[in-house]
Every structure is written in structure tokens, then in C-alpha cells.
Amino acid sequence: MIKPITVEPSKKLIVNAVGRYFRCREASAAFQLKVGSDTYTLEGGDEFTVRDDDPDFRQLTFINLSDTDDLTVDFFAGKNVVRNAYVKLPRTRSQPAVISLAVGATQDFPGIDDSGKRRKQFTMTLKNGMTGQILVRNADTGGLVAIIGAGATAGIGFALETDDNLQIQNKTGTNPIESESASPTISVIETFYR
């Protein structure tokens, strides 16, 4: 059974399907799937097979984690594992961010872009050395997510798989942070679902 489905925001959809194997070919965002008494968080490209000693599943319950966006899922469910050389991953697009932060200033990076698409990944790379700190916080909770500290050298960076609203703060002491022609210089690239 190959089936595309749509689940409204904050809703669930029960699909009658008998089988032992599930593959999510494509999904517009992460979602939860309830199989029997177990619940899994999945995204496009994920798959599973029921253990040999467990019975076939009879229902799949798709749960939309978003309270604003429809969830679309294209999946296969059946009794036999299906393998092919082609795996269709969720389509994404990357966009660089322009950075310009005076000392002590902050810049926000929403987890949802202007077209309503969720961020999949946030990547920050230091392009030259620095003193002081660059802090990355969850903009909603204020919790510290990442830090690039004093003495960091060019090429240091990180990638976060998150659609949280983020905020960068310049704690370098005396230097502004820019995306080009400054010291320190950082690169931020955000990858969003299409």
C-alpha cells in the first residue's frame, strides 16, 4: 500500500493498514506515528520493520506536531520489506543569513520562514579567529543552545537540527560581528523544508 495523506494542524489521522514494514518516502515535517502501543517520531526517509515475535500492525496513527501547518506524508506500508536504490529525501532549500551585530546586540532567527516552512538545520561557522563569545540561545526560553568561545579559530562551527526560534548574541567585548569584512566574521546558513 503506497499512500499520500494530509493531517491537519494538531490533529491525528488513523489509517487502516496491515503489515510488518513501514517506509516514509516523504514528509513535509517531522511527525509522530503510533503503532500499537508504541509511538515514534519520524521524518521523511525513515522506516521500520516489526520484530519477528510481534504481530502485524493493523492501524497506523499519524500525529501532526505542528499547530499551524498541515502535515503531508507519502508512505508505504505492507507485509514485506521493499528495497530499492532510490530513496527520496525531503526537499530542502538553504539560505545564507546576513549578520551585522554591534557589541552586546542580538539577532533573531525564526524557526519558520516567511512562507510558513519549518527550518530543518541551522549551521554557524567562524570564518576567522575571535576574542569573547558568540552565544546562541533559544529565543523563546532563553536557554543556551551553543557557544563559540574566546580563542576559537577559523573553521570552528556547528550544525543544529532544529526548528526552534534562535537568537545570536555578540559577547565579543569590543568587535562587531559581520558576515563579511570584519573580525570576527561568521557564516550562518539555514536549511528549510520546501
CATH code, 69: 2.60.120.10
Indicate the pTM of the whole model. 0.53
Number of H helices, E strands in the chain: 0, 18
- Same domain for 125 and 187? yes
Residue at a domain's end among 18, 51, 78: 78
Digit-by-digit pLDDT tens for the chain (194 residues) are: 577 899 999 999 999 988 889 989 889 999 999 998 889 899 888 888 888 888 899 999 999 999 999 999 999 888 876 655 455 566 778 888 878 788 888 899 999 888 888 888 888 888 776 677 888 999 999 999 988 877 777 778 888 888 899 999 888 666 667 666 555 678 888 888 77
Q: Is 36 contained in some domain?
A: yes
- Do 48 and 89 touch, CB atoms closer than 8 A? no
Whether residue 132 is contained in a domain is answered as: yes
Residue 51: inside a domain, yes or no?
yes
**Within this chain, do residues 189 and 105 fall inside the same structural domain, yes or no?**
yes
Q: Is 110 exposed, middle or buried (0-12, 13-18, 19+ CB in 10 A)?
A: middle
Give residue 107's domain range: 92-193
Task: With respect to residue 97, please indicate whether it lies within any of the assigned structural domains.
Answer: yes
Q: What are phi and psi of 64, to 5 degrees?
A: -80, 120
